[in-house]
Amino acid sequence: MSQWMIPQRFDIRGVVFDMDGLMVDTERVIKYSWDVTGEKLGYEKFGDNILNTLGKNRVQRNQYFLEKYGEDFPLQSFLDGYHQVYYEYEKKNGIPKKKGLMELLNLLKERDIPMAVATSTYKEHTVPELEKQGILSYFQEIITGDMVTNGKPDPEIYRKACQRLHILPQEAIALEDSYNGVRSAWNAGMKVIMIPDLLEDDGPVKECLYGKMKSLSMVCRWIKDEI
């Protein structure tokens, strides 16, 4: 695991954000929901599977479960169960924003740097989450997992985000927390900054990174100091 990698000076024309685990602290709640539901279905530490599915879209994730646990895996019961656990947790506790998010969004807005979201989560969940967090209006474009043919690590979602922002991929920064997301943005030709969440080791994607920072607050400070 490398230390933090501070990017070089760069004239940013746009920033594309992942959502889960990057802007909002959803991944830990999902892991908890998988643990609770998996235990009810007879599986121990089922939440650990999230480390193998981060960045994947719904179809990719469901296929992972069926390949690992077999065609007899009660997929629909699991999905219904964990969604219920998740929403009950969210209703009781809320889902916090990641450190530095609002500071970074406001800085980019002040500097008229266009922003987009590129998330594997489907639109039916993405837009309500961004609305609940009070950040939907900051983004000029929202690209979700059901708007592309190929999920991360394929570059399609990040290429589409850049196209919608009318910028070249090499002119933009991608902010990601998962290996699949990092590879997707890198494959699209973007400069990728990893902000670790559940996955802390950058080893598998180190060659793809333009930088690695502890939090979005650190990204904000870098832009203020260097850009």
Q: Quick one: pLDDT at residue 227?
A: 67
Q: Which long-range contacts (CB under 8 A, 24 or more apart) does 121-128 make?
A: 121/19, 121/20, 121/57, 121/145, 122/57, 122/58, 122/146, 123/147, 126/19
Whether this prediction's pTM lies above 0.85 is answered by: yes
pLDDT tens string 160-170: 999 999 999 99
Model pLDDT for residues 35-85, shown as the tens digit of each residue: 999 999 999 999 999 999 999 999 999 999 999 999 999 999 999 999 999
Quick one: DSSP state of residue 139? -
Q: Is the pLDDT of residue 1 over 60?
A: no
> Does the domain at residues 14-25+96-226 carry the CATH identifier 3.40.920.10?
no
Q: How far apart are CA 212 and CA 225, in angstroms?
A: 16
Residue spans per domain, the chain? 14-25+96-226, 27-93
End-to-end CA gap in the chain: 27
Report the pLDDT value the prediction gives residue 5, as an integer from 0 to 100.
Answer: 83
Query: Looking at residue 226, what is its pLDDT?
Result: 77
What is the model's pLDDT at position 4?
Answer: 79
> Cα–chain-centroid distance for residue 161?
14
The residue written with tokens 């993405």 in the block is 126
For 85-105, write each residue's pLDDT tens digit. 999 999 999 999 999 999 999
Tell me the per-residue pLDDT of 154-200, one tens digit each, with 9 for 90 and over: 999 999 999 999 999 999 999 999 999 999 999 999 999 999 999 99
Please say if the pLDDT value at position 6 is more than 90: no
- Tell me what pLDDT residue 44 has: 94
Q: What pLDDT is attached to residue 122?
A: 96
Quickly state the pLDDT bin for 2 (edges 50, 70, 90): low
Q: Is the pLDDT of residue 29 over 90?
A: yes
